[in-house]
Amino acid sequence: MTDARNAAANERLSAELELTPVAVTRWSARLVAPQVERDYLQHRFAEDRRRVFLLLGLVAIASFLNFLVEWDAYGRGVSSQAALMQAFVLVWLPFAGLAIAMRVRSPLVFESITLIGVAIGTIGRLGMLTLRPDMIQLWPTLMVGIVFVIYLYLPLRLVGATALAICFSCVAPFWWQLVLGDVLPPDVFYRGLVWVLLANALGFTAANSLQRSQRTQYAQGLVMNHLLSTDAMTGIPNRRRFDAALAREWRRCRRAGAPLSLLMIDVDHFKAYNDHCGHPQGDACLRQLAQLLVGTIKRPGDIVARYGGEEFVVLMPDIGAAGALAVANKLAAALRHADITHPRSPAGPRMTISIGAATARNLNGEPAALVEFADRLLYAAKAAGRNQVSVGQLPVPGALRAA
């Protein structure tokens, strides 16, 4: 599943950004391309869940230990029944959070639930100190600690983390002063405010730098993967990307029980064209043909790639033999309509292609069998005089034969 998502992200990146490095906003630390930002959040989702699970586990342990302390204090008459009941409730809140978080599959929903959970947990902690005013010395430490956890640990985007931290930083000190009243010395209160402001400044700076760095690294990885999987001359996917797509679609079609078709395309008498017109013109011709193929293949799930030299491939999931033949004839007709001159072709004055159209319905073997069969069909088309399509369905292993 992860490989499929990364491949889909690479496809979207190539289509939308065309090798342009992805920018990250300076203050909100988000990827400028909205779809790439969503892909990044999905990419981080599993790791973010693990971090929240770990945090909830630690909170559960701390809450249980605090309950034991309150139980002892209540037994000695130091604590009240209300404080004991609140400590008991706080023990179960992390487990409720774990039960909810395990069911979430969307990073945006997970972020919203995290915001709500942090708000509830923070109110619970403030309430705990409200019922125990003798623990006044813990207020600044608690506030600063919560601010840093919000900025640097929780799976929140910078805007959400900043808003939550600011809201907490405004509410907590006034709650602190309201609960304690005259008992709270002014110098302790103002010193606490200074620490909270400093924690926000440091937390925002560190979170901004961290999130921008993570997104930049992710975007650069996408661009690098795209560069490594793109044919430098034609600008379409190369053999490496085709092999990955074939393996991915083979598995998917096998699970779905759907057919998978492959067109193996070869330019007729291209060596003679190169020898007569020169390699620069030959390269220009291949670029033109690549763009023609891409422009003719309309389905988003189909992949046009350069297989090597003057050979191209078209991978078409969920298409049977009849559909593959129709697409192959459409490509040949598009090339005829383009009317590319070939001054040294024995088949005529125009550029032509031969196509082997192979379809697999029994996908229990290996993907390489489909490529081999399409290659055999291509050679059958070339042996029959070129400028034509040879179509066939991949037999079960041991019974391969060209149609």
In the chain, what are the domain boundaries? 2-227, 239-393
Q: What is the pLDDT of residues 65-113, one digit of tens each?
A: 988 988 988 888 877 788 788 888 888 888 988 898 889 889 999 999 9
Higher-pLDDT residue of 4 and 365 is 365
187 versus 39: which is more confidently predicted?
A: 39
CA–CA dist 207, 29 (Å, integer): 9
Contacts of 82 (CB under 8 A, 6+ apart): 131
Q: What percent of the chain has pLDDT over 90?
A: 48
Least reliable range by pLDDT among 80-84, 104-108, 149-153, 292-296 = 80-84
How confident is the model over 340-353, as pLDDT tens digits? 888 888 877 889 99
- The model's confidence at residue 17, banded by pLDDT at 50, 70 and 90, is very low
- Find all residues with CB under 8 Å of 241, minimum gap 6, and list them: 10, 229, 230, 303, 305
Distance (Å, whole) CA 227 – CA 241: 10
CATH number for domain 239-393, candidates 3.30.565.10, 3.40.50.1860, 3.30.70.270, 3.40.50.2300: 3.30.70.270
Whole-angstrom distance, CA of residue 393 vs CA of residue 391: 7
pLDDT digits (tens, 9 = 90+) for 350-397: 899 999 999 999 888 899 999 999 999 999 999 998 999 999 998 866
pLDDT digits (tens, 9 = 90+) for 248-274: 999 999 999 999 999 999 999 999 888
On the question of pLDDT at 1 being above 60, the answer is no
Question: Residue 75: what pLDDT?
Answer: 86
The pLDDT assigned to 162 comes to 95
3-state secondary structure the chain: CHHHHHHHHHHHHHHHHCCCCCCECCCCCCECCHHHHHHHHHHHHHHHHHHHHHHHHHHHHHHHHHHHHHHHHHHCCCCCHHHHHHHHHHHHHHHHHHHHHCCCCCHHHHHHHHHHHHHHHHHHHHHHHHHCHHHCCHHHHHHHHHHHHHHHCCCCCHHHHHHHHHHHHHHHHHHHHHHHHHHCCHHHHHHHHHHHHHHHHHHHHHHHHHHHHHHHHHHHHHHHHHHHCECCCCCCECHHHHHHHHHHHHHHHHHHCCCEEEEEEEECCHHHHHHHHCHHHHHHHHHHHHHHHHHHCCCCCCEEEEEECCEEEEEEECCCHHHHHHHHHHHHHHHHHHCCECCCCCCCCECCEEEEEEEECCCCCCHHHHHHHHHHHHHHHHHCCCCCEEEEECCCCCCCCCC
Q: 76: left (phi > 0), else alpha (psi -120 to 50), else beta? A: alpha
| Residue closest to 254 by CA, chosen among 176, 101, 362 | 362
Statement: residue 20 has pLDDT above 70? no
pLDDT at 236: 92
Q: What's the average model confidence in pLDDT over 206-214?
A: 94
pLDDT attached to residue 303 = 93
Task: Give the per-residue pLDDT at 174.
Answer: 82
Average pLDDT over residues 180-207: 86
